[in-house]
Structure 1
């Protein structure tokens, strides 16, 4: 290796030293030049193992890394994707990979690889799935339950016809739950509601505004096309109210705002687009 590429490698070693994520320098041929301390801990390797450490010892995707991902990063300037690292005992570590080429003039001397551990997010996703299934079971047994699915998050899944009388009852139940639990988010899931009358739609929006007065944020999920048409047709204001496609996405949204890392992005609803569908 020439003196200048070696200088580049030294610079990147210093840059990677303080990173909490796995960071490595790999030659395009696959030779591992460096792994930072956080990276060695993630894959349960000791510093004295680094000389001679191969890509296939660090990841089950060695062939793709050398044959596809590093060349793609060289061509485009960067490559990103989900993959796995391999611990010393062979167990996998799910990660988000970012690969970028290190150039010496016009020549690529190495690839910088940064991998963020997704294990925590995946465990959270599994717990979210468990709680989601638990909520579905409760919903089947009760008409309008209030469920505290997480610290600071309550949900009110609504199923069936919602008239003005029921909407008033929902308002009282939800506000009491928000006040009692100190929840920061209240999710009103309308997946099981096919239609509402105009008075009820206005009443539901009053419920959401009342939730805001208690210091919580209201999230609406699962709005059906017929309900969206009524809301849009009435010109009712949804300012400050988040609308998402499903209860699952609503839970992810709230968890992100509470500081948890979740692996997938929620999709915000366009009510006008739904109403037109």
Structure 2
């Protein structure tokens, strides 16, 4: 006992260790240079069979013993292993170095993290499912359809915000480049609200199509949307607009037919 009245002797350390082993949900273990367990105790070990004297390399698959082997070579580690299917342990590996610098064994502490790992796997699976669902939704919200030779259509539904507009434009330009389409029908039949930002997105799309040699035609503007466009003073004069998708397709077919008949110079 030192001058402060605190006992720091071996007996006190043993008492502290015993208290930790009995109350914390951990396993404290030690192996000799050959991997034989010389110590295996702790609250989490109480439900397990006593493996003292047995060799870790015989008990567990090789992939679970990789880090123990490296610790026996002098490397200190903290790793999560799966010694049996669905059972995960997070372990700390501390090499014991003898007076001559050689490794005389490994002392470790392990915590059962199976529940946390399962929760993490479940979360990863849910995130993967959400991402796949988002891919499906993105494909559904930008369904580029080839409705005639040289003509593709993009029915727009819902709200066209900046992030969606960027996706729509990327998909649309890629489709034009892939199919060599000369006309693109942007159908607004499913769009209930059009504001200045939406109009700017449409104008931007038509301009981008022009850079690829395609012409954009806007169809399906609803009466209430048309009233909104007039009331807020939006200028869509630069866009070719028609009442329905059918009218738009007829227009494109006539334009292509006229271009074929036009004399070449």
TM-score range, shorter-chain basis?
A: 0.3 to 0.5
Give me the TM-score of the superposition, normalised by structure 2. Answer: 0.41
Structure with bigger gyration radius: 2
Higher relative contact order (CA 8 A, sep 6+): 1
Report the TM-score, using the length of structure 1 for normalisation.
Answer: 0.40
